[in-house]
């Protein structure tokens, strides 16, 4: 019976370690996902700005002053 109790205690300790490792992994994934969403938002903003700039540069009727006014 004593061996069984020791085994249960070891397994309890292992479960605690596994729970801690899982919580750490979830925390790291959440941090990574948050960082990725910020990065994606920034990338989309840059792509949108580049698209607008390209569209404006293709149209010869748009002057530099018009672009400054639109950007402000």
Section 5-18 average pLDDT: 93
Helix 64-71 vs helix 2-58: crossing angle, to nearest 10: 140
Cα separation, 2 vs 47, in Å, equals 67
pLDDT confidence of residue 2: 87
Q: Does residue 12 or residue 54 have the better pLDDT?
A: 12
pLDDT tens-digit readout, 20-58: 999 999 988 888 888 777 777 777 777 777 666 666 555
pTM over 0.75: no
């Amino acid at each position: 019976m004593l061996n069984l109790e020791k085994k249960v205690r070891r397994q309890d300790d292992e479960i605690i370690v596994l729970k801690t490792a899982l919580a750490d992994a979830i925390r790291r994934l959440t941090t990574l996902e948050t960082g990725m969403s910020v990065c994606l938002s920034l990338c989309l903003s840059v792509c949108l700005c580049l698209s607008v700039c390209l569209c404006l540069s293709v149209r010869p009727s748009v002057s530099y002053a018009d672009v400054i006014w639109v950007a402000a």
